[in-house]
Amino acid sequence: MIADEQRIQFEANGFLVVPQALSLDALADVRAAADRAEARWRGDTSLPGGRSEVLDQVQAPIEYDEKFLELLWHPTVFPLVRALVGSDVSMIDNDYFITPPRTLRTHAGWHHDVGLQGVYHPRSLMMLKVFYLLTDVDDDAGGTALVPGSHRFPMDWKFPEVLDPREMPGAIQMCGAAGTAYLFNGRTYHCAVNNNSDRPRRVLIYNYGHFWMKVWPGYEPSPRLLAEAAASGDPVRKQLLGIGDAYGQTLPAGQSLPAGQSLPAGQSLPAGI
Ligand SMILES: O=C(O)CCC(=O)C(=O)O
């Protein structure tokens, strides 16, 4: 029962890896879309994001290309997200990160993403991040590192301070071939390691939370995306983009993909959907 194995792995360690989430064809399409988005973003510095010697961040790539929007409900990965977060899942933010080769330092030191007050985090999945690798990432190529199981540590747990992110005791690195996806609980302690390779690292990031949470400022879907989602009438698309009742919004039982989209051959829905 792969679904049970995935759930136990996620609950125990705070992360999951989905090898070959993107087929070679899908990867080629997404890479081409990423190149177009990057060219547009570099050519117009008024477009949002971060531009520094350690990271180029194309903010909100779903605004650039339908391919990025569709990854929000990727047929292999989104059913897992929906099962883990719950039926009130929604989008919190999305990014395209390009870590330049031979970075002098990390662009993101050790941290976790969720600091909401009034919630006992170690028992709550408040945010779930999905990364899609667009380039091969080995342990020298600036990948994400995380401390397995740290999503269950108390909020005031003091991790040691380390000079090089890779010196964190107990940490592992999320390496993989282009097309790999990995998911982690936003409370899992994580960072980006320095990119010591000669290649840029390219990764798409989708952050999911609960419908009642606010979208991260600057990532609110544009009026165009909202109008298209509303016109589609599709419950998954609308809910992920924040269209619905502030409290009580939920996907219909059994619905984990937009209408007309089916699970890949041989894949079944995880338990609990
Ligand atoms: O670039 C990475 O691998 C880590 C990014 C990160 O720290 C984050 O998304 O919170």
> What are the tens digits of pLDDT across the range 37-46?
999 999 999 9
Q: Phi, psi (5° rounding) for residue 5? A: -60, -40
Q: Which atom of ligand 1 is nearest to the CA of 107?
A: 1
Domain-embedded: residue 243: no
Q: Domain total for the chain?
A: 1
Domain-embedded: residue 266: no
Domain-embedded: residue 258: no
Please, are residues 108 and 59 in contact by the beta-carbon 8 Å criterion?
no
- 138 exposed, middle or buried (CB, 10 Å; 0-12, 13-18, 19+)? middle
Domain-embedded: residue 38: yes
Name the 3-class secondary structure at 202.
strand
Q: Other C-beta atoms within 10 Å of 272: how many?
A: 11
Average pLDDT, stretch 51-65?
97
Angstrom distance (rounded) from CA 133 to CA 37 = 16
Angstrom distance (rounded) from CA 143 to CA 192 = 6
| Residue 267 pLDDT greater than 80, yes or no | no
Q: Which atom of ligand 1 is nearest to the CA of 207?
A: 9
Angstrom distance (rounded) from CA 238 to CA 229 = 5
Going from the Cα of 108 to the center of ligand 1, the distance in angstroms, rounded, reads 6
Q: For 204-252, how does the pLDDT look when each residue is reduced to its tens digit (9 = 90+)?
A: 999 999 999 999 999 999 999 999 999 999 999 999 999 999 888 999 8
Domain-embedded: residue 213: no
Burial 236-250 (b: 16+ CB within 10 A, else e): bbbbbbbbbeeeebe
Domain-embedded: residue 267: no
Average pLDDT, stretch 89-96?
98
Angstrom distance (rounded) from CA 160 to CA 24 = 40
Average pLDDT, stretch 65-91?
95
56 CB less than 6 Å from ligand 1?
Answer: no
Angstrom distance (rounded) from CA 162 to CA 30 = 35
Cα distances (angstroms) measured from residue 252 to each of 21, 46, 97, 235, 257:
25, 40, 33, 8, 11
Q: Which atom of ligand 1 is nearest to the CA of 111?
A: 7
CB neighbours of 38 closer than 8 A, spacing ≥ 6?
Answer: 56, 58, 96, 98
Task: Give me the residue label for tokens 């090898």.
Answer: 19
| Residue 123 pLDDT greater than 90, yes or no | no
Name the 3-class secondary structure at 111.
strand
Ligand 1 pocket test, pick from 59, 98, 131 with the greatest ligand atom count within 8 Å of Cβ, gives: 131
Average pLDDT, stretch 181-185?
98
Name the 3-class secondary structure at 16.
strand
CATH number at 10 reads 2.60.120.620
Domain-embedded: residue 246: no
Domain-embedded: residue 247: no
Residue bearing the CA closest to ligand 1, atom 1? 192
Residue-number span of the structural domain to which 49 is assigned:
2-208
